[in-house]
A and B are shown apart, each in its own frame.
Chain A
Amino acid sequence: MTDETPRAGTVFWNGILPENPVYRSLLGMCPTLAVTNNLNSAMTMAAATTFVLVASNLMISLIRSWLRPHLRILVFTLTIATFVTIVDKLLAAYMFSMSQQLGPYIPLIIVNCLIVSRCEACASRQPVSTALLDGLGMGAGFALALASIATIRELLGNGTLFGLTVLPESWPGWGIMVLPPGAFLTLGALLGLTNWIRERRTAS
């Protein structure tokens, strides 16, 4: 990303498809694989990550003139860790059972490379408005990616969506889809599919 200010719509849209954090940049693989066995936890994770992403982008953008190259990773980590702790406490206070279910994965947002990479690539160089749109777009792209994987895994694994039964009772439930191998299989298949579509687009 260059230092000049890009157009608002482009910034937002970039995170959703052209630079989708999961399908294009392969960032944030840990939550992508770990919490996508049902839509409820995947969407909670996406919301928590988006909150941290937007808040960290805003904070870094606000203090970007104070940043020094050799201290920037420290500053990013401090910012991200603060917002992750806040979101962790919020979940424990208002969505207690979900917070129990997600266990260590909420604190692990701290090491999600998606956030630190947006702080580095965008927020530390761009004005607040661009950083905000970038955070929202990347968050939406991350949510879209988690939702696509979780939909397939929950549907094929349990025959449910958001915990509600959708497939007929006779559906056997492919247990492997809710287990870790199912995460790799689904991610691989969807990555292949997005690459295939992209190549066909560029060819034509």
Chain B
Amino acid sequence: MHNSLHYVSEARAVIFLAIFAGVALSMVEATLGPRIAENVRRQTYDRIPELVPGASSTSTQEISLQPDVGSVNAIYAACDESGTLTGWVLRGQEQGYSGPIVLLVGVDPQASRITGLFVLQQTETPGLGALITRDSFLEQFSGLPANTPIQMMKHATQPGQVQAVSGATISSVAVADAVNRTLSEFRNLLEKTDSRDHMFEQLPSQGEDV
């Protein structure tokens, strides 16, 4: 009997700290949790007007996906203020040089032309691979046709080719691969009647004139 009390008394620092940690962390989570979730959401939604011209962050809505869609892991229907579909924002990812690169690709409603590109997450080498987040690199993608694969070149000579970040070929090619794969999978989704219907059913009032 003396022993069990003795053990509890020995461990009182641990017991006290466990209770303290539980209380402190649940208070932190309750206070900051919504703010963090909002930061994560805004990271995507704040970009939508830049990725799809004319789209508004507030009218844009995420389309819930049917399972089995490969590397496209989110689709946002980008709408303007009046609710008309102005394009799509697709989130895709590819393994880069030192970790996954997660991208947002903006395309027009027919998925025929790229309207913008943004790097959401990357862990590439600072000063080299991380330069894929620069506007000067990403702007090259705007206006390219979305139905032919993008060619990543060390020295882009023709229109339609993209100049890789020098010293970061692997990261640059990973961006091109991610864009190509995301777009081809999204086009497959649009072509398959049932998944297309599934996507359009979720839009508030949309004609199926794609």
Contact = CB atoms under 8 A, between A and B. Distances in A.
Contacts of A79: 17
A66 B20 contact: no
Given A90-B32, A175-B128, A78 B21 contact: yes
B127 interface: yes
A27 interface: no
Given A71-B13, A82-B20, A89-B29, A178 B36 contact: no
Contacts of B13: 63, 66-68, 71, 75
B10 interface: yes
**Interface range on chain B (Cβ under 8 Å from partner):** 20 to 34
B128 A179 contact: yes
Nearest to B12: A66
Given A78-B21, A85-B28, A93 B128 contact: no
A38 B25 contact: no
A82 B21 contact: yes
Given A37-B126, A75-B13, A175-B128, A82 B24 contact: yes
Interface string B20-49: 110011001100100110010001000000
B25 A158 contact: no
B17 A92 contact: no
A89 B18 contact: no
B39 A93 contact: yes
Given A86-B25, A90-B32, A74 B127 contact: no
Contact of B32 (A68, A93, A173): A93
Contacts, number: 72
B130 to A, nearest CB: 9
B125 interface: yes
A78 B18 contact: yes
B39 A96 contact: yes
B14 A75 contact: yes
A63 B11 contact: no
Interface in A86-108: 86, 89-90, 92-94, 96, 100, 103
A15 interface: no
B121 interface: yes
Nearest to A72: B13
Contacts of B24: 82, 86
Contacts of B43: 96
28 contacts: A38-B126, A59-B17, A59-B20, A63-B13, A66-B16, A67-B13, A71-B11, A71-B13, A74-B14, A75-B14, A75-B17, A78-B17, A78-B18, A82-B21, A86-B24, A92-B39, A93-B39, A94-B35, A96-B36, A103-B123, A157-B127, A158-B127, A173-B127, A175-B128, A175-B167, A178-B128, A179-B125, A179-B126
| CB-CB nearest 3 A-B residue pairs | A178-B127, A66-B13, A82-B21
Given A59-B20, A67-B13, A90-B28, 11 more contacts: A59-B17, A63-B16, A63-B17, A66-B12, A71-B11, A78-B17, A85-B28, A89-B36, A92-B39, A93-B39, A179-B128
